[in-house]
Amino acid sequence: MASGQQVAEENVRKFTAWVASKTDDDFRSMVLRGVLSRTDIAAECGFAKSVLSQNPRIRDSLKDLEAGLRERGVLPKPAAEPAGGPVEPRTRQAEGVGSLRDAERLKRLEQENASLRAELAEVKRALSRYAVLQEALAETGRLPR
């Protein structure tokens, strides 16, 4: 069984791989109330939403990521609250059943794609460890045929 520190480190690796697998357009589709959707991030990374606030390395990385996205214009700049109080949230326009189904399917496929990209990054990292071992075996003449 993994210790809490090992789980935290694994979550940091998952988050880092997830960030690397995303494009600006991917991030734009995840914007919710001026920030990235924490629920979507947690689902795509495969850990609980609480990890985003409780793991200090992930929390700081996410804050830095959002700041960088704001600088690039992917996320909106934080707006000062008007004198009259909070702004009423905008309501989404009703969509047809077909386009709603397509949007759900697209979101599911994007999550699956992000998950597979993160898994591929992990597998490539693990495979690189064995390349060194194979090279050492080849040099010593112990490489099986």
Q: Which residues pair with 31 in a beta bridge?
A: 36
**Residue 115, both tokens:** 């998950």
How confident is the model over 119-135, as a mean pLDDT?
87
Token match 């606030």: residue? 53
C-alpha separations of 116 from 14, 31, 47, 130 in Å: 11, 22, 15, 21
Residue 35 lies in a domain: yes
Residue 88 lies in a domain: no
Model pLDDT, residue 64: 93
pTM above 0.85, yes or no: no
Domain that holds residue 119: 4-77+96-140
Q: How many domains does the chain have?
A: 1
pLDDT tens digits, one per residue of 22-66: 888 888 888 888 888 999 999 989 899 999 999 999 999 999 999
Residue 90 lies in a domain: no
Residue 91 lies in a domain: no
Share of the chain above pLDDT 90, in %: 28
Residue 87 lies in a domain: no
**E strand segments, 1-145:** 31-32, 35-36
Gap between the Cα atoms of 24 and 21, Å rounded: 10
Residue 101 lies in a domain: yes
